[in-house]
Amino acid sequence: MNGMAMRRPLRRMTVVLLWVALAIGVAWFYDYRRSMQSLWKIRQHGRIVVLTENNANSYYIYKETPMGFEYDLAKAFAGHLGVDLEVKTPGWDDLFASLQRGDGDFIAASMTHTRKRERHADFSEPYLSVRQHLILHKSDHSVKTPADLAGRTVHVREGTTYQQRLEALQADGIDLKLVLHRNTPTEELIEQVAKRQIDITVADSAIALLNRRYYPDIRIAFPIEKEQPLAWAVRKGDRGLRAEINRFFDEIKENGTFTRIYNRYYTAVDTFDYVDVKKFHQRIYTRLPRFRPLIEKAADRHGFDWQMIAAVIYQESHFDPFAQSHTGVKGLMQLTQVTAEEMGVTDRFDFEQNISAGVAYLAKLRHRFDDIEDPRTRLLFALASYNIGYGHVRDAQQIAENLGMDPNRWQSLKEVLPLLRNREYYADTTYGYARGNEAVRYIERILTYYDILKQKKAF
């Protein structure tokens, strides 16, 4: 009897434990099902909605085409899922509320992942790191340490990590005045600094470096915060979508897609020549208008963006129709005598002949790279050929292939072109030695000018 009496409570305890385990299992199952539901719905509906910011860093429309670093990443993620992408820009202050209301599926807005923000959303693994920098006018060298902010006024957007950091500096005893702007993009505050409408703002390094192109009169001062990770945000508990985003970032970093997208917007962003960029901004208004109709006409005839052609012409001649180099190239597009004869040019200093022939020749070079599927890459190869010669570009492709690289990717060519200066590489090529590093710089400058022109509201 005693043994039976002892077994009864053990059986009851076992039953209770089984019921508890079952309850936990059921709860886990429903929680897991709920966490996977949004991803299932996205695939069922064939659409995913991204919440982002409307600015040069995240998302903007250029010639009726959506662009931006975050947009391109989000578009690639939609492709990864096999669904369409819809974009919503509710404004910075409403991003989390829009996510929680279900207006969008995830936030991709170059947002830093902080513990405070974890109250509102779950975050993916980071895909970039940034640091907060003070932004001042180029002429202002009075702020060299955080302590120099005492008595100064700093303007930032409300609800940002910039605000949090500046409040921490105030708590540390630095008597700075903080002015908060509701839903004002950081880019606008940077512009106000450039125009001396405000003294100081703060921006993440990526935003600061990109906007320095558009506002060359700013100075990117010292960082005021350690590195912070950028990540995408999903609704709390949405583990399925978060896990898929993490898989996506792992995949595109492995296959090179992330690097291609990053380079599309941030090529040579660390390289900044104040005098050159400042002069370009001025000549957009003083020199370009004279030639714009001819540039537009030639670009349209051959299927180019006229602002890209304008960027090429500026790189070639700084919009000087009588430019002539020591090598004998002449005019706006710096035509060689051989190219001029090939394209039927009788006077290389004739504006219309020079532009028309130069653009036609660039189109001819682009056509010679029809074996490259991506239109942007095809254009970059054509530009490299315009600068260094078609044969040298084909040599560089062969070197890339020999090194186990994809010869039809610009990133490969960018790494290989400088090797044409080294005998061990050019000795076995068809066309031999070339200053390939100059071709890389040539294209980087063109892309910088093109990016500036795209952002110019007057154009």
Q: Which of 167, 251, 316, 341 is catalytic?
A: 316
CA atoms of 232 and 74, how far apart (whole Å): 10
In 3D space, the residue among 323, 330, 321 whose CA is nearest the CA of residue 294 turns out to be: 321
**347 phi/psi in degrees, rounded to 5:** -140, 105
Cα–Cα distances in Å, from 219 out to 135, 141, 194, 227, 458? 6, 9, 9, 20, 24
144: left (phi over 0), alpha (psi -120 to 50) or beta: alpha
Does the annotation count 316 as an active-site position? Answer: yes
- Please tell me what DSSP assigns to residue 448: H
Q: Are 401 and 428 in contact (CB under 8 A)?
A: no
Evaluated on CA atoms 118, 120, 126, 132, the torsion sign reads negative
CA atoms of 61 and 63, how far apart (whole Å): 7
Q: Tokens standing for 107?
A: 């936030």
CA atoms of 18 and 7, how far apart (whole Å): 16
CA atoms of 420 and 230, how far apart (whole Å): 37
Strands (E), 167-301: 177-181, 200-204, 218-223, 228-234
In 3D space, the residue among 236, 226, 189 whose CA is nearest the CA of residue 208 turns out to be: 189
Cα–Cα distances in Å, from 382 out to 78, 183, 373? 30, 42, 13
In 3D space, the residue among 329, 326, 369 whose CA is nearest the CA of residue 349 turns out to be: 329
Q: Are 183 and 207 in contact (CB under 8 A)?
A: no
b/e per residue, 257-287, with b = 16+ CB within 10 A?
Answer: bbebbbbbbbbbbeeeeeeebeebbeebeeb
**54 phi/psi in degrees, rounded to 5:** -95, 90
CA atoms of 439 and 391, how far apart (whole Å): 13
Q: Are 250 and 123 in contact (CB under 8 A)?
A: no
Q: Are 250 and 263 in contact (CB under 8 A)?
A: no
CA atoms of 177 and 166, how far apart (whole Å): 9
Provide the annotated active-site residues: 316
